[in-house]
């Protein structure tokens, strides 16, 4: 199985993110989505750690299924907050024993006190544990507008630089202007960090939904993007069409700016990603 670090050395990557299903209906949808997206030949896919400790089995099952039934390289997410240190070590060891070569190390969203662990409080510590247990291709998350827990962007960049000193590459949360990615990369470069930062792309298919997700990540959808989407009025299809056009324009600008890759947040659906690929001329519609 490929190491993403090696893929990034040879050229631009294209990748997708999935989340593990919680029931049979979600499982059927994920299966269809993976099947629909396989012809796009992604360089890798990531699978989120959805929730607390219960995600251990679900995330592992999805990445092992992808590893065993497709030619796609899977990368599991893992969060600090859901497990004590020894369990994190067990999970990482299990990933390595299954043949996985790539890991996305995260601090994790806050959990209820009774479900939360703080033995490893930061993603940088999880990177160190994963490195000690054999992972040589490790990603971390980056927030173009700054992590919601950071008091300011300067502080965020210092923490991110420390994470990237330990890790190999970053994948960003979603954003909507190429300047946001360029500013992030420039600010990291000023701190001596030149490791790959892959932009995360979230196609807008519903304005209210994207605003909720943005709020949870401490990000505000730019006013000009909202204004464009509001031109669709009460017509969901018109709003969706504008959202896809905006995503295509962003991806085109990012590719022109020389990004190391594009990572699409699919929400376990395939249509929007396939439409963007078509709009960019990456595949025939």
Q: Burial, 116: exposed, middle or buried (Cβ in 10 Å; 0-12, 13-18, 19+)?
A: middle
Catalytic positions are 17
Three-class secondary structure of residue 233 per DSSP = coil
In angstroms, the CA 29 to CA 155 distance is 40
CB atoms within 10 A of CB 44: 24
In angstroms, the CA 271 to CA 254 distance is 21
Q: Burial, 153: exposed, middle or buried (Cβ in 10 Å; 0-12, 13-18, 19+)?
A: middle
Phi and psi of 149, rounded to 5°? -85, -10
Write out the E strands in 24-136: 44-47, 74-79, 102-106
Give the pairing of strands 169-174 and 13-18. Answer: unpaired
- DSSP-assigned letter for residue 43: S
């Amino acid at each position: 199985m490929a190491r993403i670090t090696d893929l990034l050395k040879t050229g631009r990557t294209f990748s997708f993110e999935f989340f593990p299903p919680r029931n049979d209906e979600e499982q059927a949808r994920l299966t269809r989505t993976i099947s629909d997206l396989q012809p796009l030949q992604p360089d890798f896919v990531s699978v989120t750690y959805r929730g607390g400790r219960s995600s251990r089995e679900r995330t592992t099952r999805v990445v092992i299924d992808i590893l065993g039934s497709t030619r796609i390289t899977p990368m599991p997410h893992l969060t600090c907050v859901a497990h004590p240190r020894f369990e994190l070590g067990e999970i990482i060891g299990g990933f390595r024993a299954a043949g996985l070569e790539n890991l996305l190390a995260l601090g994790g969203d806050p959990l209820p006190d009774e479900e939360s662990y703080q033995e490893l409080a930061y993603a940088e510590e999880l990177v160190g544990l994963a490195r000690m247990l054999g992972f040589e291709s490790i990603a971390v998350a980056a927030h173009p507008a700054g992590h919601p827990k950071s008091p300011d962007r300067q502080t965020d960049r210092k923490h991110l630089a420390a994470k990237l000193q330990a890790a190999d590459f970053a994948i960003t949360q979603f954003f909507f202007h190429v300047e946001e990615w360029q500013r992030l990369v420039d600010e990291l470069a000023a701190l001596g960090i030149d490791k790959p930062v892959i932009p995360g792309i979230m196609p807008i298919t519903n304005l209210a939904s994207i605003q909720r997700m943005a709020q949870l990540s401490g990000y505000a959808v730019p006013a000009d993007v909202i204004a464009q989407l509001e031109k669709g009025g009460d017509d969901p299809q018109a709003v969706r069409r504008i959202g896809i056009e905006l995503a295509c324009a962003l991806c085109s600008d990012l590719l022109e700016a020389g990004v190391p890759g594009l990572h699409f947040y699919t929400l376990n659906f395939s249509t929007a990603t396939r439409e963007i690929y078509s709009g960019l001329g990456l595949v025939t519609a």
